């Protein structure tokens, strides 16, 4: 076939172009990769809790490398075939070069450049410079003296970002199977809390450490950091499932008017609700302080998204009721099994006393849960009772927009609560009457003992940052080098004070500030924020393809809840790949060429 500089007319193509085939195959490869990360990655381990961090680290970077390598082979093959058959017209069309001959490839790349791309490149530049100029460049590159999140790992995080955001095609069933894997992981953890040890993994753990390991994740703090991702996704999908007010902004009028499959919507609503209750139970039985931060962040910020219409408001109330139901079930199971190493939450259960009067109250809350639950499903019965005007009116009423004043009131209450917490911390440390806070000293007294010695740990970190020269303040000491610094310069102080060695700040904000500097800190959190803004499509730009819907919002809330919990947690490749992929798929866009594919 004779080729020209322009894309041939549609009649010249007898089927699919090589560029279209290439785009479809690469999208399929990325889809398989995302499926593996969402389902296999959290459950993968080769030898119980031995080397579980290394197992997941290798799983992530090797699977990402395979995805990139296969996609590169497909792309080069498609380019070769396209150049041979059409003179490269298909790929030029995919890049948009044929739409305006005045614009070159560089101009098209600039038009496709995202703000999140810039923040990621800023972080990578800072991490690269900190690695090169680090006192320990080898360790900074590989991260082998820390948690394996050196510059090498971030190369693959960046590769996953560009591949997923440009080629992945999001479908709801991805999150359905993701939550199914999460249920398996969470139920396993709940059974470990009760002392059942379903797979015998705790049998090889010393008795004094059994409460610190659970499920397929290992460390209990890391476990709750993973579960909060599942909780956020299930909660967002639960409050939005079947509601017209939460459809993606890119829906066509025909798609928006299409009636959903009633039974599928009802089944998914039940499924997401069940998942939410189970994940609440897993967070409670996780016995970790970061679980409190993650749950609080989710429940505090979810109304700003859920309260778009009355149905979202009712579903949010149901989510709260599900939280109380989870507390009730956890309390009952704890009393029944009486596990010797269940931990302090088995007695206090988020502040609830052990008095017998509390059990009827929790049972009453469980009954309220059931009432709200049934009420929320009434609209799903409208097809079975098509002649019932009352149900139809009820359904229409539930879809009515909720006045914005409700969200403003919630915002005002949130501001008051934040100011109150700030005042409590100030008063406890500088108010002059510490006896008021003796019972809560570990919470409000910020000293070396605060947060299981995190106060001392953070003090050491800030002291080193203050001693850094300006250039080192900007780019940091190098990824995963904090443990090296403390062992060399602070070993005797740590041992003399608490008999501990700090290999991590136990605070991701400070961890990135120390290892990658101010530039890396701005780059990383700017990257998360800009991705979240694009996923929510706050400005409702038509160019933000596939953004603005519940699936994208689920990724944003998952990343937000995790970031809140990371204030007292460690950044590890057991959780971060999962969190990032969930966020990336919210800003994914389907690759396309100018000519539509022929059926």
Is residue 51 one of the residues assigned to a domain? yes
Kindly report, residue by residue over 538-559, the tens digit of the pLDDT. 555 544 444 558 888 999 999 9
Kindly report, residue by residue over 169-181, the tens digit of the pLDDT. 888 899 999 999 9
**Left (φ > 0), alpha (ψ -120 to 50) or beta: where does 90 sit?**
alpha
Of 593, 544, 532, 498, whose CA–CA distance to 119 is shortest? 532
Looking at every residue in the chain, the average pLDDT score rounds to 80
Kindly report, residue by residue over 216-232, the tens digit of the pLDDT. 998 899 999 999 999 99
Is residue 471 one of the residues assigned to a domain? no
366 pLDDT above the threshold of 60: yes
249 pLDDT above the threshold of 80: no
Is residue 63 one of the residues assigned to a domain? yes
pLDDT for res 228:
95
Kindly report, residue by residue over 40-55, the tens digit of the pLDDT. 999 999 988 888 999 9
Q: Residues 452-466: what's their mean pLDDT?
A: 87
Total number of domains in the chain: 1
Q: Residues 236-244: what's their mean pLDDT?
A: 85
Look at 227 and 90; give whichever has higher pLDDT. Answer: 227
Cα distance between residue 85 and residue 518, in whole Å? 50
29-33, 42-46, 91-95: least confidently modelled range? 91-95
Angle CA(241)–CA(575)–CA(305) in degrees, nearest 5? 30
pLDDT for res 595:
38
In this structure, the number of other CB atoms found within 10 A of the CB of residue 151 comes to: 23
470 pLDDT above the threshold of 80: yes
Is residue 213 one of the residues assigned to a domain? yes
Of 535, 575, 565, 579, whose CA–CA distance to 553 is shortest? 535
Look at 2 and 214; give whichever has higher pLDDT. Answer: 214
Look at 103 and 411; give whichever has higher pLDDT. Answer: 411
Q: Residues 484-501: what's their mean pLDDT?
A: 87
**Cβ atoms 139, 150 nearer than 8 A:** yes
pLDDT for res 343:
46
pLDDT for res 195:
84
pLDDT for res 351:
41
What are residue 180's DSSP bridge partners?
Answer: none
Using pLDDT thresholds of 50, 70 and 90, give the confidence band for residue 360: low
Is residue 476 one of the residues assigned to a domain? no
| Token pair 């593996």: residue | 36
204 pLDDT above the threshold of 80: yes
Q: Which two tokens stand for residue 161?
A: 């970002």
The helix (H) or strand (E) run that includes residue 219 is strand 218-219
Coil, helix or strand for 379? helix
Is residue 203 one of the residues assigned to a domain? yes
DSSP 8-class letter at 8: P
End-to-end CA distance of the chain: 22
| Token pair 């509601």: residue | 243
62-71, 100-109, 231-240, 528-537: least confidently modelled range? 100-109
State phi, psi for 206 to the nearest 5 degrees: -60, 150
pLDDT for res 370:
66
Of 572, 575, 586, whose CA–CA distance to 530 is shortest? 586
User: Which are the contacts of 95, defined by CB distance < 8 A and separation ≥ 6?
Assistant: 105, 108
Is residue 425 one of the residues assigned to a domain? no
**Cβ atoms 324, 296 nearer than 8 A:** no
Is residue 167 one of the residues assigned to a domain? yes
109 pLDDT above the threshold of 90: no
112 pLDDT above the threshold of 50: yes
Kindly report, residue by residue over 397-439, the tens digit of the pLDDT. 667 788 888 889 999 998 998 898 888 888 777 777 766 766 6
Cα distance between residue 408 and residue 411, in whole Å? 5
Q: Using a pLDDT cut of 90, give the percent of the chain over it.
A: 39
Domain that holds residue 328: 17-419+499-587
10 pLDDT above the threshold of 50: no
Q: How many Cα atoms sit within 13 Å of 412 on the Cβ side?
A: 6
Look at 81 and 420; give whichever has higher pLDDT. Answer: 420
357 pLDDT above the threshold of 90: no
182-196, 263-277, 289-303, 352-366: least confidently modelled range? 352-366
State phi, psi for 219 to the nearest 5 degrees: -55, 135
29-38, 82-91, 340-349, 457-466: least confidently modelled range? 340-349
**Cβ atoms 546, 125 nearer than 8 A:** no
Cα distance between residue 12 and residue 38, in whole Å? 41
């Amino acid at each position: 076939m004779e080729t020209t500089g322009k894309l041939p007319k549609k009649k010249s193509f007898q089927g699919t172009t090589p560029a279209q085939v290439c785009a479809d195959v690469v999208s399929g490869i990325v889809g398989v990769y995302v499926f593996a990360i969402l389902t296999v990655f959290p459950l993968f381990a080769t030898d119980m809790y031995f080397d579980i961090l290394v197992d997941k680290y290798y799983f992530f970077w090797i699977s990402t490398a395979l995805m990139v390598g296969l996609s590169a082979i497909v792309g080069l093959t498609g380019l070769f075939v396209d150049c041979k058959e059409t003179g490269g017209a298909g790929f030029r069309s995919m890049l948009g070069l044929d739409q305006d001959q005045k614009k070159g490839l560089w101009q098209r790349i600039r038009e496709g450049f995202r703000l999140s791309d810039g923040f990621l490149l800023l972080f990578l530049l800072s991490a690269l410079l900190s690695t090169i100029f680090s006192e320990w460049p080898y360790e900074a590159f590989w991260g082998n003296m820390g948690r394996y999140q050196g510059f090498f790992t971030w190369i693959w995080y960046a590769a996953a970002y560009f591949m997923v955001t440009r080629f992945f095609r999001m479908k709801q069933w991805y999150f359905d199977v993701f939550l199914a894997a999460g249920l398996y992981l969470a139920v396993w953890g709940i059974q470990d809390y009760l002392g059942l040890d379903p797979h015998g993994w705790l049998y090889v753990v010393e008795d004094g450490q059994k409460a610190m390991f659970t499920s397929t994740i290992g460390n209990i703090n890391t476990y709750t950091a993973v579960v909060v991702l599942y909780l956020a996704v299930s909660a967002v999908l639960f409050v939005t499932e079947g509601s017209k007010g939460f459809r993606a902004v890119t829906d066509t009028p025909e798609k928006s008017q299409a009636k959903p499959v009633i039974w599928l919507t009802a089944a998914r609503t039940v499924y997401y609700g069940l998942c939410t209750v189970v994940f609440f139970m897993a967070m409670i039985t996780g016995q970790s302080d970061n679980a409190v931060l993650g749950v609080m962040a989710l429940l505090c910020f979810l109304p700003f998204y859920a309260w778009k219409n009355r149905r979202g408001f009712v579903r949010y109330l149901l989510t709260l009721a599900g939280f109380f139901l989870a507390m009730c079930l956890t309390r009952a199971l704890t009393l029944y099994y009486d596990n010797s190493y269940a931990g302090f939450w088995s007695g206090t259960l988020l502040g609830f006393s052990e008095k017998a009067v509390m059990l009827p109250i929790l049972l009453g809350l469980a009954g309220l849960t059931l009432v709200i639950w049934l009420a929320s499903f009434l609209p799903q019965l409208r097809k079975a009772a098509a002649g019932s005007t009352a149900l139809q009116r009820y359904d229409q009423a539930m879809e009515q927009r909720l006045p914005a004043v409700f969200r403003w009131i919630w915002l005002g209450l949130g501001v008051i609560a934040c100011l109150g917490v700030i005042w409590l911390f100030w008063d406890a440390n500088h108010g002059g009457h510490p006896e008021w806070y003796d019972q809560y000293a570990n919470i409000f007294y910020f000293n070396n003992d605060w947060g299981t010695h995190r106060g001392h740990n953070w003090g050491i970190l800030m002291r080193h940052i203050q001693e850094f020269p300006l250039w080192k303040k900007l780019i940091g000491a190098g990824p995963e080098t904090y443990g090296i610094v403390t062992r060399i310069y602070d070993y005797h102080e740590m041992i003399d004070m608490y008999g501990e060695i700090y290999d991590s700040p136990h605070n991701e904000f400070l961890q990135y500030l120390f290892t990658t500097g101010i530039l890396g800190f701005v780059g990383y959190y700017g990257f998360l924020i800009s991705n979240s803004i694009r996923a929510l499509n706050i400005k409702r730009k038509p160019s933000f393809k596939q953004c603005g819907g519940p699936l994208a919002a689920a990724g944003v809330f998952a990343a937000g809840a995790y970031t809140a919990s990371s204030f007292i947690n460690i950044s590890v490749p057991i959780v971060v790949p999962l969190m990032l992929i969930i966020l990336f798929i919210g800003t994914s866009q389907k690759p396309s060429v100018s000519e539509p594919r022929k059926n």
